[in-house]
Structures are given as structure tokens and as C-alpha cells.
Amino acid sequence: MDEREFELINIIGGELGANQRDLSRQMNLSLGMTNMLIRRLITKGYLRIKQLNKKKVEYLLTPRGFSEKMRKSVRYTMKTIGSIGLIRRSISRLLSELYAEGTRKFYVLGSSDLTLLIEMVVREEVFQGSELVHVTEPLQAKGDGVLLVCREQSEPVALEGVRAVNVVEELAKDELFAGHLSPVPAGVLNG
């Protein structure tokens, strides 16, 4: 089962009564492509059609389709957990390098799952005498620490006397993480 088929099964599994036009709109596919995917899933035994009236049909997951959806969901979840572990280790390495350079105050800009991972690393790792401060604006960071930017941005944050590190960009450069890079769900990295 490919990604589009899996996406379609997830939508159908969660929405009773969706028609092909609704499905194609949700998946951002043409009506013809959606029809082809539905027919392919029926042929594979993952979906069946229930005729409601002359013009209306309902798409239902078969037991095989439900089983495949669950199997792929578990695999996706396990892959995501593995990716989060890699991100956590990359953050740990980055903060350890900054700590070794003498940084004791970390300002965190952004509010996302990435900031939560940074908090976890700071709590779990041995960074004696370090402090983690959440800021909503770059100007709140003082010259005695490093500003950890936890969102992608087109322009770098330039503050007088404060070093800014874009954690998203640093993660993308990290060899440990970059080799295993896979799509991360929206909202995980952007704050």
C-alpha cells in the first residue's frame, strides 16, 4: 500500500458518507486519480462499496483494510518515535557543545514540540548551573546566553551581544539525524 492509498484509507476510515468529490478535495487530487485509488483499494480487498441509492454510495473499510491501516499506523508511529529519539540526541549534542563553550543560559524562542524536547534534554542531561528561559520575542534574550530559535525562518535573528542558534537548521546539518531524515508531521518543528 503506497502513501496515497494509506491516506485515502485513513480518510475513509474516519469519515462515513464521504463522496469521491470530498475525498479528492481532502487529498488535493483530481477526481480521476481519486477514483483510480478507490478502485485499486477495492481490487486489493481493502475497501468495499455499499450502494445507498441510485446515485449515492458509501465506502467501507474491509477487515483486511482495517488490519492494513492499523499495521501501517503502528509502523508510522514507531518510525516517528525513532525520529524523535534522533532529534533528542541531536539536541543533546548541540546543547553539550554550547555548554562546553561556556554557555550556561539558554533562551528558547518558539512554542512547539521541539521546545519540549529541549526542556527534556536540559532536565535529563548534566548541565550544572545552566538555566532555560522561554522567550516570546528575540529581544527578551540578554547578552549572557544563547538564543535557541525553534522555528524555521527566512531571516536570521540578529541581536547585539547575543548568539542565536536556529535549532531546526542545526538539526538538518547533524549527520546523525540527517541520514535518517524522513517527513516529520506538521507542527513538530515549527512553533
Partner residues linked to 106 by β-bridges: 132, 146
Domains of the chain in sequence order = 3-61 (1.10.10.10), 80-178 (3.40.1010)
pLDDT of amino acid 191: 41
Q: How far apart are the first and last CA of the chain?
A: 32
More confident residue, 136 or 92: 92
Partner residues linked to 108 by β-bridges: 134, 148
Give helix 113-124 / helix 63-100 axis angle, nearest 10°: 50
Give per-residue pLDDT as tens, 32-76: 999 999 999 999 999 998 888 888 888 889 999 999 999 998 998
Partner residues linked to 109 by β-bridges: 135, 149
pLDDT category at 95 given cuts 50, 70, 90 is: very high
pLDDT category at 124 given cuts 50, 70, 90 is: confident
Where helices occur in 15-62 by DSSP H, the ranges are 20-27, 31-43
User: Model pTM?
Assistant: 0.67
| Cell numbers for 76 | 508510522
Mean pLDDT, range 155-162, rounded to an integer? 68
Lowest mean pLDDT among 75-79, 122-126, 181-185: 181-185
